[in-house]
Structure formats: C-alpha cells, structure tokens
C-alpha cells in the first residue's frame, strides 16, 4: 500500500506523531509511534479521535496549525 507521511511532532522521549495519507484507500490519519521503551508499537488514529483525545499537546497544536494553512486566503483589495 502506497503511503506518504509528514512528521507532526517528535517528543523529547522519542515518541513520534505523523500525518499519513494512504493513496490506495484515500485514508488520512495520525500515526503515533511510541519510543522503544514504551513498546514501540505504532497505532493509527483517525484525525477526529486524535484531536478529541487529550487535544492540548504540541502534536495537536502542530496538526491544527497545518490544517489552518489549508484554509488561508489572500485578502483582496
């Protein structure tokens, strides 16, 4: 399955969050990859669930910032 990922945030303890697009299915989701000492098993989370679940961390802020860039418009004079 063809995927493209963009890292959203990497914590000091090594956890990583990425925005992933699966081209074949069209699915877009957040992948959390915990550090090795936490087990290191990645989990995929729908964007809605990710933002609702403890949505105050820097990884959430970065996803919201990225989403905001998609709707920026130029001001017409």
Predicted local distance difference test score (pLDDT) of residue 25 = 94
Look at the alpha carbons of 45, 51, 56, 57 in this order and tell me if their dihedral is positive or negative.
Answer: positive
Specify whether the CB–CB gap between 29 and 43 falls below 8 A: no
| 29: nearest Cα among 16, 53, 45, 41 | 45
Look at the alpha carbons of 60, 61, 64, 69 in this order and tell me if their dihedral is positive or negative.
Answer: negative
Predicted local distance difference test score (pLDDT) of residue 15 = 94
pLDDT digits over 29-77, tens only? 999 999 988 887 999 999 999 999 877 899 999 999 898 888 876 555 4
Q: Which residue has the tokens 């493209």?
A: 4
Predicted local distance difference test score (pLDDT) of residue 39 = 81
Look at the alpha carbons of 50, 70, 9, 42 in this order and tell me if their dihedral is positive or negative.
Answer: positive
Rounded to two decimals, the pTM is 0.81
């Amino acid at each position: 399955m063809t995927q493209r990922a963009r890292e959203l945030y990497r914590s000091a303890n090594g956890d990583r969050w990425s925005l992933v697009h699966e081209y074949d299915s069209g699915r877009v989701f957040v992948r959390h990859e915990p550090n090795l000492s936490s087990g290191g098993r990645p989990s995929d989370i729908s964007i809605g669930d990710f933002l609702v679940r403890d949505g105050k961390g820097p990884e959430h802020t970065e996803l919201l910032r990225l989403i905001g860039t998609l709707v920026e418009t130029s001001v017409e004079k």
